[in-house]
Structure 1
């Protein structure tokens, strides 16, 4: 991820109280760019339904918390690039 992962996130308005949260690093024509759907909650806050990385939902008190939470969600869903651990094995029975 970049040094400031929040700046890769874009809120696209769908209505006065609903937005689509997208990742600007992914082409906008790719469905994988959509991270979540966001709705303004009554009386305050935001309800978030995650699309990227599995289903689930969350609530955030303000937009700053929402963007930081979304950046953490994207980071948690990122594939790991570590080398696989070698599989321990025993020699074939014929070698014994």
Structure 2
């Protein structure tokens, strides 16, 4: 992966935007569907370490991750994006019109 990622790379799936930070050893993982000034734009930060890659996630229940290969980081980031769904209002869940039966 030496020099493979430039200043900004976009994954074809899920609108993942990868922004290089520094000297090819740290990246910002972003959601391209969200504007750059929106707080939800950045989904995580990845850093190359001796044992692979460490990622700090800013979304989801998992806050930290360690991955052996870069492809695993990309797969995890795309999973985070796909699990986010769309933002905005949704229709309310219908409430049953009948009262529960009494025992």
TM normalised by structure 1 equals: 0.69
Deviation at 1:87, TM superposition (A): 4.0
Deviation at 1:12, TM superposition (A): 1.0
Unaligned stretches of 5+ residues in structure 1: 92-96
Larger-Rg structure: 1
1:66 to 1:82, Cα distance in 2 relative to 1, 3 A: farther
Unaligned stretches of 5+ residues in structure 2: 1-11
1:29 to 37, 49, 62: 37
CA RMSD in angstroms, aligned pairs only: 2.8
TM normalised by structure 2 equals: 0.66
Instruction: Tell whether the 8 Å contact from 1:19 to 1:37 is kept in structure 2 after alignment.
Output: yes
Number of aligned residue pairs: give it: 86
